[in-house]
Amino acid sequence: MIRLEHINKNYVSGTKTVVALDDINLQIQAGEVFGIIGRSGAGKSTLIRMLNLLERPSSGRVWLQDQDISTLAEPQLRQVRQKIGMVFQHFNLLQMRTVLDNVCFPLRLAGLTRAQQKARALEVLELVGLQDHVHKYPRQLSGGQQQRVGIARALANHPQLLLCDEATSALDPETTQSILRLLAQINQDLGLTIVLITHSMDVIRRICDRVAVIDAGKLVEQGEVLDVFLHPQHAVTQSLLSESGVEAEGWQDMAAEVQGRLLRLSFTGSSTATPLLSQISRDYQLDLSILQGAVSRIKDVPYGQLVVAANGDLSRWSQVETLLAQQGVDCEVLRP
């Protein structure tokens, strides 16, 4: 659905040139939830604004469906943007207008009649659970409710694409989860493509199908969320996972104090709940010490990763590896 080809973005300040994006190549498929993660200043906000050309690239091309929108003049680009909804970190609501009026605003710009505006606005407000708040003003709503208004407004024009720029960063953890559940429901029920940027690996884990990691204007890693979480390749990704608590540190110190073969076991799906370690310990007379572990879900898929020390007679280790492989468990030997 979306394709970025060799996107570069430079800002010139006096005699100094700042590189915000450096040769970005990215494809986003229709119907998926795609996450872009990076630290502050990494370039992720600039990148998401390339998708609707609120920022124009210094060079490169932006494709939406089969159309190179980077070649469009502003009048044509405005028509394209009507099919791209955007949700902002700080809501960007009209404070002197009611909830209903806020959602009607983009519909009025699109040329709908008053009756059409109201009918569509009420439809999307019901979708986001605010049908009882249509006549309230933003100041009368909680932060989560205000963000739901922002989402309803973004959905009003039947967009093909929804962009979320740090949509949960201003919210408390409980409200964040409710907004993420709403976005997941919208993606599932409407088949809407969603691109979100965040600095939180937990947000990526809960809602995204694929993720791109950006650092200093470069895409340093991208792929299926499950693969990136279980097998991070770049130091920035590993650091983000560690900071989020997904990949805990400290097991290296414990590993120095225990003997035996050191393993990292990664498992997904049904194997997550299978008592494999008990079976291996019992059938092969091995003592297994768990030095670090995490079991959770990525979207709807259970996953886990353990660092384990195995002690005992390892002469039948090849049979253990076969059993793990049969159960879909990836076994990485960290220390022979």
Q: Which one, of 73, 117, 68, 72, lies nearest residue 97 by Cα?
A: 117
Specify whether the CB–CB gap between 335 and 259 falls below 8 A. no
Q: How far is CA 92 from the centre of its chain?
A: 22
Q: Which domains does the chain have, with CATH numbers?
A: 2-244 (3.40.50.300), 251-335 (3.30.70.260)
**Cα(131)–Cα(71) distance, integer angstroms:** 40
The predicted structure's pLDDT at residue 249 = 55
Name the residue with tokens 């494809």.
27
Token pair for 251? 């097991």
The predicted structure's pLDDT at residue 270 = 80
The CA-atom distances, in angstroms, between 110 and each of 106, 114, 125, 162 are 6, 11, 18, 17
The predicted structure's pLDDT at residue 304 = 85
Q: What are phi and psi of 211, to 5 degrees?
A: -145, 145
Specify whether the CB–CB gap between 264 and 334 falls below 8 A. yes
The reported pTM is 0.87
The predicted structure's pLDDT at residue 333 = 92
**Cα(122)–Cα(142) distance, integer angstroms:** 19
The predicted structure's pLDDT at residue 97 = 95
**Per-block mean pLDDT, blocks of 10 residues, the chain (336 long):** 95 90 96 95 93 94 93 91 92 94 95 96 97 96 96 96 93 93 95 94 94 96 93 91 66 78 88 86 92 84 89 92 92 90
Largest separation between any pair of C-alpha atoms in the chain: 78
Q: What residues contact 301, with CB distance under 8 A and at least 6 apart? A: 226, 268, 269
**Cα(177)–Cα(315) distance, integer angstroms:** 48
Written in H, E and C, the secondary structure of the chain is CEEEEEEEEEEEECCEEEEEEEEEEEEECCCCEEEEECCCCCCHHHHHHHCCCCCCCCEEEEEECCEEHHHCCHHHHHHHHCCEEEECCCCCCCCCCCHHHHHHHHHHHCCCCHHHHHHHHHHHHHHCCCCCCCCCCHHHCCHHHHHHHHHHHHHCCCCCEEEEECCCCCCCHHHHHHHHHHHHHHHHHHCCEEEEEECCHHHHHHHCCEEEEEECCEEEEEEEHHHHHHCCCCHHHHHHHHHHCCCCCCHHHHHCCCCCEEEEEEEEHHHHHCCHHHHHHHHCCEEEEEEEEEEEEECCEEEEEEEEEEEECCCCHHHHHHHHHHCCCEEEEEEC
**Cα(303)–Cα(311) distance, integer angstroms:** 25
Amino acid at 71: T
